[in-house]
């Protein structure tokens, strides 16, 4: 049995952010027992609660049979493979993969909170998410995200 999971992709460190997100999307599509259902456009956004240059962001919809913590482990392995370091909280990053939603599951553990706790506050997540899943518009509860600087750049292709 599979569940629909939504993954936020982001990067603001490296020579080619577009290539970093494309490679991450390819890695997501190659996960075992997983199918890429949709991939948003790439969006450029100013950092929110983070340092460094602008981010390139996207959201992927996956149909996966991986359990939530197994999926989280796989996301972290993809980040590491692309050079992700965590020198301090909100540091610039070569790749950031966030498990945003996993079906209808709600979870609150030290390792994973679902839905992602800041999902409804950040344009860099909401704009690409609503591009591929407009039926989730009820998640955009906070008001401040509409004023955040973000620009749609165009489709990521696999």
Asked if 84 is an active-site residue, the reply is: yes
Of 142 and 22, which is predicted with more confidence? Answer: 22
Which residue is catalytic, options 93, 111, 127, 152? 93
What domains can you pick out in the chain, each with its CATH number?
A: 3-155 (3.30.70.560)
Which residue is catalytic, options 33, 84, 86, 118? 84
Cβ–Cβ < 8 Å for 81, 24:
no
Average pLDDT over residues 14-40: 95
Model confidence, pTM = 0.93
The string of pLDDT tens digits covering residues 31-71 is: 999 999 999 999 999 887 776 789 999 999 999 999 999 99
Look at residue 40 and give its three-state secondary structure.
Answer: coil
Average pLDDT over residues 7-34: 94
Q: How confident is the model at residue 158 (pLDDT cuts 50, 70, 90)?
A: confident
Please identify which residue in the block is written with the tokens 């950092």: 47
Asked if 51 is an active-site residue, the reply is: no
Q: Say if residue 87's pLDDT is above 60.
A: no
Which residue is catalytic, options 96, 108, 122, 152? 96
Which residue is catalytic, options 54, 63, 70, 98? 98
Helices 17-29 + 68-81 axis angle, to 10: 140
Q: Where are the alpha helices (DSSP H) in the chain?
A: 17-29, 68-81, 123-132
């Amino acid at each position: 049995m599979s569940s629909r999971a939504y993954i936020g992709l982001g990067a603001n460190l490296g020579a080619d952010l577009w290539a970093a997100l494309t490679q991450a999307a390819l890695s997501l599509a190659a996960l075992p027992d997983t199918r890429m259902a949709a991939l948003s456009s790439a969006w450029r956004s100013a950092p929110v609660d983070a340092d460094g240059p602008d981010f390139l962001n996207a959201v992927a919809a996956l149909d996966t049979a991986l359990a939530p913590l197994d999926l989280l482990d796989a996301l972290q392995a993809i980040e590491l493979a692309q050079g992700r370091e965590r020198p301090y909280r909100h540091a610039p990053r070569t790749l950031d993969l966030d498990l945003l939603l996993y079906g209808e599951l709600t979870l609150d553990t030290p390792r994973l909170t679902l839905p992602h706790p800041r999902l409804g506050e950040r344009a860099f997540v909401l704009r690409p998410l609503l591009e591929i899943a407009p039926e989730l518009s009820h998640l955009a509860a906070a008001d401040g995200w509409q004023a955040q600087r973000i620009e749609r750049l165009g489709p990521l292709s696999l």
